Structure 1
Amino acid sequence: MKDLTTAPTIWRDSEMLECVSIVPEMPNTASFTFRAPSGALFDYDAGQFLTLEIPAPGEPGGVVHRTYTISSSPSRPRSITITAKAQPDSIGTRWMLDNLRPGVRLKAIGPAGLFTNAKSRARKYLFISAGSGITPMMSMTTCMWDEGQELDAVFINCAKRPSEIIFRQRLEQMASRTPGLDLKFVVEEPDPYAPWTGYQGQFNQLMLGLMAPDYLEREVYCCGPEPFMTAVREALAGLGFDMDNYHQESFGAPVETEAEQPALDDVVPDEDSKAEIHFATSDVTAKVAETETVLAAARSVGLNIPSGCTFGVCGTCKVKKTEGEVHMVHNGGISDDDIEAGYILACCSNPIGKVAVEV
């Protein structure tokens, strides 16, 4: 008979982890579940990460250390799971996909990390992720679900194709049993021969307004590649979101302490800072606040730039910038090639300092 008088011990990283299962999630992506050989339980906050020491023949010391967000929930403490996707240049994750099997033991360091809602007092959440950035969101959502919390979370994940949405079936199963988990998926393109009726394209301000109309009332957690998180921050800031309620975790640089948190150097137009726009073709100059758009500045001096939506969607107000910098948050109305060539959308571009455009 099992002795119920002895409290289980908590796993410490002095003990190696033993792999107990590998579940393929999608091509080059799998969930790896570990247990403590001693039977110890895992104690961590949802959203934290582990650092694994992985064999790497040919590398200095024969090992590499790779950090992975924990995708399982601390509400299920008998095992711990990380979900990893191998990139073309992956070493550690590639080794795990090719070689890790049940019974194999690895050294691990942690858990650690600040990206967690464990101490949050928010009632309403907005989780925004791209690709495998979904893992900490899965951990936090599962934990709230298991603890019987009254969920009020909008869960947005962006992926290349519907077939590449990690945890889609598990999330849909959870959402089918509570009205408080609102799933929104965004894909770049549909799978062949499989119609997609959801959101398609790049995540933007318009999508955000449709997916979570009350986003100003929510606490936001974001995880994904750096360009994706920059776009999310710009979309939120442009809509007047209180960025004190914004939290993010990077693919490449999860941090353990507040001191390691990277400073976000996003350009934010300042109402008290002045800018100067020279409309070169008309030889007219407008002095305006940085929060004024190029389109509004042109109208203020009697110039007409053709425009349509004024939300950065239609592309009607595209003009050539010949000098200076602008802060542009568009919603898909301009291509990367046009931006590279110096074009901007006047309706959603704020001048920073001195700017010249062909108008």
Structure 2
Amino acid sequence: MSFSVYGSAPWKDTEELECTMVIPEAPNAFSFCFSAPSGAWFDFAPGQFLTLGLPMPHGVEWRTYTISSSPSRHLSLTVTVKAQEGSVASRWMIEHLKPGMRIKAMGPGGVFCLKDAKPRKYLFVSAGSGVTPMMSMATYLWDTGVQPDVVMINCARTPTDLIFRSRLEHMASRTPGLKLQFVVREDDPYRTWTGYKGRFNALMLGLMAPDYLEREIFCCGPDGFMTSVREMLYSLGYDMEHYHQESFHAPAETAAEVPVHDDVVPSDDNMAEVEFVASGKSATCRETDTLLQVAKSSGLNIPSGCTFGVCGTCKVKKTAGDVVMVHNGGISDEDIEEGYVLACCSKPIGKVAIDI
């Protein structure tokens, strides 16, 4: 007696997908598992996406979701969806997409993915549902049967919001090559959290992955989160040729569609000017100098403590101009919106005025 576990050919997007399971992962987050009715198997690169045709009441809506399952497990394909505020399509999936339903799909596609299974040192950094491609990549590396070397950092609002936490912890408990690090903004009520808490920052990165300069980094999450990660890596001297990122917007299907980030990176070759408004002084400097350094060299005293953006002692009001500030949690988002910066970790771009 014999039977085949695979169909005769890989799945083509001319065939509809059938929903086979719906799995709750976290508040407002569910995994939807699909199979091919013909028995065809799935072929894609870990980290790629699928575009689903959702039969909503007003007509078919096409939405793109990262595949959270691994191509090493060919018989099914899974996307994990979190309904964000104001989301229509994802909310429809959570409320209406059930096992047995068939939907149209296009893909897979995308360039944010592991290119091969060669042993490398990886760092996966994600926030919220940005963990979905990282889950695919981590599972794929696990399934190769070769000891992985992965540090995986996932950030969320609360411990309950950490998608795939239990599954990842089980994988990490079976191999020393997968190291998990979680960061949350708030505790869950009546439950103790002993891990990292606050805004993910350079200090945390150094503790979580001391050899981050040697690792290939993949990052996925909200735009603001990814911008802060890039700024952090720039300031730490990371070779950005080894940095890759996805976003919650329509993923790039080809290398030509990958957006070029217009990040402002301070340079030793560029000069800047800092005006100290209350003191009536100004000074020229390099973009790589901090406001604190420029103030001290100008004979002015800005109270300071840690000098790396934690304590908040050197908070000053910026009244004009732009700075690049890479802090470690010593200033609130509300203060930043009001124009405050930390002098110890703020570098002037062009002409800047501060109220001292």
Q: Deviations along 1:65-101, whole A, 9 cap, x unmatched?
A: 1100000000000110001011232222212111111
1:247 to 237, 244, 248: 244
Aligned match of 1:46? 46
Q: Please state if 1:169 is matched with 2:166.
A: yes
SS of structure 1 residue aligned to 2:282:
strand
Q: 1:129·1:156 contact (CA, 8 Å) conserved in 2?
A: yes
Q: Please state if 1:141 is matched with 2:146.
A: no
SS of structure 2 residue aligned to 1:138:
helix
Change (3 A) 1:235 1:120: farther
Letter in 2 for 1:37: P
Aligned match of 1:303? 300
Q: 1:220·1:245 contact (CA, 8 Å) conserved in 2?
A: yes
Q: 1:220·1:246 contact (CA, 8 Å) conserved in 2?
A: yes
Q: Please state if 1:21 is matched with 2:21.
A: yes
- In structure 1, how many angstroms separate the alpha carbons of the residues matched to 2:220 and 2:96? 28
- In structure 1, how many angstroms separate the alpha carbons of the residues matched to 2:43 and 2:248? 23
Paired residues in the alignment total 356
Q: Please state if 1:130 is matched with 2:127.
A: yes
- In structure 2, how many angstroms separate the alpha carbons of the residues matched to 1:38 and 1:11? 9
1:99 to 96, 100, 115: 96
Q: Please state if 1:209 is matched with 2:206.
A: yes
CA drift of 1:327 comes to: 0.9
- In structure 2, how many angstroms separate the alpha carbons of the residues matched to 1:212 and 1:64? 41
CA drift of 1:120 comes to: 7.0
Change (3 A) 1:220 1:200: same
CA RMSD of aligned residues (A): 1.5
Q: 2:17·2:35 contact (CA, 8 Å) conserved in 1?
A: yes
Superposition pairs for residues 53-64 of structure 1, below 5 Å? Answer: 53-58=53-58, 62-64=59-61
- In structure 1, how many angstroms separate the alpha carbons of the residues matched to 2:335 and 2:3? 70
SS of structure 1 residue aligned to 2:228:
helix
Letter in 1 for 2:223: E
Q: Which runs of 4+ in 1 moved over 6 A?
A: none
CA drift of 1:118 comes to: 2.6
Change (3 A) 1:117 1:334: same
Letter in 2 for 1:19: C
% identical aligned pairs:
63
Q: Deviations along 1:29-79, whole A, 9 cap, x unmatched?
A: 111110001100000000000000001213xxx111110000000000011
Letter in 2 for 1:258: A
- In structure 1, how many angstroms separate the alpha carbons of the residues matched to 2:186 and 2:207? 20
Q: Which runs of 5+ in 1 are unaligned?
A: none
CA drift of 1:258 comes to: 1.1
1:194 to 187, 191, 194: 191
Change (3 A) 1:7 1:163: closer
Q: 1:122·1:218 contact (CA, 8 Å) conserved in 2?
A: no
- In structure 2, how many angstroms separate the alpha carbons of the residues matched to 1:326 and 1:96? 42
- In structure 2, how many angstroms separate the alpha carbons of the residues matched to 1:272 and 1:324? 19
Q: Which runs of 5+ in 2 are unaligned?
A: none
- In structure 1, how many angstroms separate the alpha carbons of the residues matched to 2:85 and 2:298? 52
Q: Please state if 1:259 is matched with 2:256.
A: yes
